[in-house]
Structures are given as structure tokens and as C-alpha cells.
Structure 1
Amino acid sequence: MLYMHDLWVNWFEGEENGYNVCRFHEWRKEDGIELIDQIPLLFITDELFDFIENDLQDLPMSLLQDIHRKTYLKKNQERHTVDYAAVVTNGKDVIVFDTLGYTLPVKKSRLIPRQERLVFEMVQGKHPESYIIEESISKEHHILSLDPGKMSGLTRRERQLKQLLMMALDQLKNSDHPEEIRYWLTEWDPCQYSHIKQLSNEEAWDRLYEGTCKGWSSLHEELCGKIIKGQPFFETIWQGENQHKSHHLNSQN
């Protein structure tokens, strides 16, 4: 078995979509970076790599057995064993996971570029291990877990705000005030005001979702800021992401 040493990881917990496991250039100062002393490296098929990167289901038992207690963390000069963790690659991309003792990849991380290149060198000329995915439920994307295409090309901040907007729209759809949907659609597309008045709540919501789930722009951001006002949980996320925007601008000036 191949092993890697002195690995920097930045864990994203409970993420079923790979686009939320941020690449190195999107890591932030306040992210909790950890150092792994030793961890197994597995060369796997494209299918299994996609399953680990973009899902949160049970991993093959044979894979878990192969990596059992072979990872060590260093904390305060002491070595701690990790039940199930590994670096996996399909030869084109890399992801690290830790199951926290369960059977699914609860925590995921990318690697720093230098260590990513090392992974590709280590598996060069080798054949991928064939692990069988025993049972899997076909994954469906929805408003709270958008299709990767709808997040493509966005920055970490934009992805976070887009997810926030989708959470607010989902809440709006299921609220006791469906008449508000037409109001927000008019905010989004004021030119259509006279037409919007004739739409049913359902038609208005579909149109609002279809319009906002593509890309990201200043219009998206404006709508998001307005729609979450007065909701403390949403406002906290909004403020956190906007602090990052000002930090980013300050670092550029």
C-alpha cells in the first residue's frame, strides 16, 4: 500500500457535493488546517472517485478494511490513530476523506498543489484498485443541493451566497405567505410586472427559481440581501460572506 506523509488538510464536513470541498486557492485564514502524519493513498476508478467526491453514502467494506487504522494525526507531539481515512485519486483529481469512525466520507479535503502533484507521480504506471460499490441510491440534485453545472465558475463566496439564496427561496415556497412570491419575482424582473400579476403562486415560484438558479450576478446578490432581511440565521451567513468580500478587496488594494 502507498502512504503519504506530512499532509496539510482543510476539512469540509458533511458535504455531499465536491464543489463545496474548496480547492487550495479558496482556503481561508480561519479554516482549521490540520497536519496528517501518515495516510494511505489509493488509486481508484473514476466511478468510485465520483462517488466519494460527490456523495455521502456508504463506502465499499473492502476499501474500509484496507485503510483501517492506518492513518495517524499528530496533536501536541502525540500520535493519534484515525479509524478510516485515505487520500484517493483517479489519476486526474485528488480528494482526502475521513469517516469519523462511520462508513461514509463525512469529512473531505483537497490538497495543496505540491502534494497533489506528488499523488499523481506516486500512482503513475499503476492500475486502479477495483472496489465494488455494494449498494447506492441514485443521487438527485434539488434546490438545496444544486447540480454542479449551476455552481460552475463561481467563487467560494458566490457559491455560499447562492446556496443561501436557494435556502431562502425554498423557505419562501413553503411559507404561509405565498403571495410574497410574486413580489420577489417582480424585484427580480421588474419589467415583467404586468405579466407577473397574472401568474399563479406556483408559476411565479418556478419562474423565480429558473431565473436565479443559473450563474451569479449583482442582481442575484441584491435579491439575496433583500430576501433574507430580518432572518437572523440567514443574516449571519450573509454578513460572514460579505466580510470575506471586504477582506479580499482590501488585500487587492
Structure 2
Amino acid sequence: MLYMHDLWVNWFEGEENGYNVCHFHEWRKEDGIELVDQIPLLVIEEELFRFIENDLQELPKGLLDDVHKRTYMKKNQERKTIDYAAVVTDGKSVLVFDTLGYSLPVKKSRLIPRQERLVFDMVEGKRASIYHLENPAPKEYHILSLSPEKMAGLTRRERQLKQLLMMALDHLRHSDHPEEVGYWLTEWDPSQYGIIKGLTAESAWHRLYYGAIEGWSQQHEDLCGKLIKGQPFFETMWQSENQKSTQHLNSQN
């Protein structure tokens, strides 16, 4: 079995979508980067790689058995054994996972570019190990878990704010004030004012949702900022993300 040593990881916990497991250029100072002392490296088939990257379902038992207690972390000069963790690659992309003792890839990380290149050098010419997935449930995307296509090309900040916007739209749809939907659709697209009055709340919400789900722009950001006003949970998320992204930009300058 191949092993990697002194690996820098930046864990993203509970992320079912790979676009939220940030690549190195989007890492932030406050992310809490850790050092892995030793970890196995597996070459796997592309289907399984995408499954691990973009889902939170049970991993194949054979894979878990192969990596059991083969990873060590160093914390405060102490070497700690990790139950199930590995670096996996399909020869095109690289991902690190840690199950936290479960059978799901609960924590995921990318690698720094130098170590990612090392992975490709180490696996060159190697065949993929075959692991069988036991009846995986089909991946489903929805308003609170958008498809990769809807997040393509966005920065970390934009993805976070777009997810916040979708949460706010979902909350709007189930609020006790359906008449508000027409107001927010007018805010989003004033040109529709003439027909909005004749729409049901459900029809107006769908127009708003299908308009806002595409891309990201200042128009999206303005709508998000207005829509979350007066909702402490959403406002805290908004402020936190804007503060972190500002700090990240300042640290790069």
C-alpha cells in the first residue's frame, strides 16, 4: 500500500457536495489547517471517487477495511490513530477523507498543489483498486443542495451567499405571508410588475427561484441582503461570510 507523510489538510465537515470542499487557493487563515503524519493513498475508479467527493453515503466495506487504523495525526507532539481515513485519486483529481469512526466520508479536504502533484507522480502507471458500492441511493439535488452546474465558476464567498439566498427563498416559500413573494419578485425583476399581480404566490415564487438559481451577480447579492433582513440566523451567516472573505482578501494583499 502507498502512503503519504506530512500532509496538510483543511477539513470541510458534513459537506455532501464537492464544490464546498475548497481547493487550496480558497483556503482561509481561520480554517484550522492540520498536519497528517501518515495516511494511505488509494487509486480508485472515477465513479467511486465522484461518489466520495459528492455524497455522504456509506463507503465500501473493502475500502474501509483496507485503510483501517493506517492513518496517524500529530497533535501536541502526540501521535493519534485515525480509524478510517485515506487520500483517494482517480488519476485526475485528489481528495482526502476521514469518517470520524463512521462509515461515511464525514470530513473531506483537498491538498496543497505540491502534494497533489506528488500524488499523481506516486500513482502513475498504477491500476485502480476495485471496490463495490452496495446499493447507493441516487444523488438528488434540491434548493438546499444545488447541482454543481449551478455553482460553477463561483468563488467561495459567492457559493456561500448563494446557499444563503436559497435558504432564504425556501423560508419565504413556507412563510405565513405568501403575499410577500410578489413583492420580492418585483424587487428581483421590476419588468414583471404588470403580470405579477395576476400570479399566485406559488407561481411568483417559482419565477423568483428559477431566476435566482442561475449564476451569481450583484443583483443576486442585493436580493439576498434584503431578503434576510430581520432574520437573526440568516443575518449572522451573512455577516460572518462577508467578514471572513474580507479578512481573506486583506491577507492576500
Is TM > 0.5 for Structure 1 vs Structure 2?
yes
SS of match in other structure, 2:30: coil
Alignment of 1:174-185 (within 5 A): 174-185=174-185
Alignment of 1:113-192 (within 5 A): 113-192=113-192
SS of match in other structure, 1:83: strand
SS of match in other structure, 1:85: strand
1:69 counterpart residue number: 69
1:21 counterpart residue number: 21
SS of match in other structure, 2:234: helix
Shift of 1:244: 3.3
Number of aligned residue pairs: give it: 253
Shift of 1:176: 1.0
Shift of 1:175: 1.1
- Calculate the TM-score normalised by the size of structure 2: 0.98
2:246 counterpart residue number: 246
Show CA shifts across 1:133-178 (max 9, x none). 0121001100000010000000000000000000000011111111
Alignment of 1:103-118 (within 5 A): 103-118=103-118
- The one-letter code of the counterpart of 2:166 is M
Shift of 1:250: 4.2
Divergent runs of 4+, >6 A? none
- Calculate the TM-score normalised by the size of structure 1: 0.98
Give the alignment's Cα RMSD to 1 decimal: 1.1
Alpha-carbon separation, structure 2, partners of 1:155 and 1:227: 21
Structure 1 segments unaligned to the other structure (5+ residues): none
- The one-letter code of the counterpart of 2:160 is Q
Q: Structure 1 vs Structure 2: percent identity of aligned residues?
A: 75
1:48 counterpart residue number: 48
Shift of 1:246: 3.3
Shift of 1:214: 0.4
SS of match in other structure, 2:57: coil
- Residue 37 of structure 2 contacts residue 74 of structure 2 at CA under 8 Å; is this kept in 1? yes
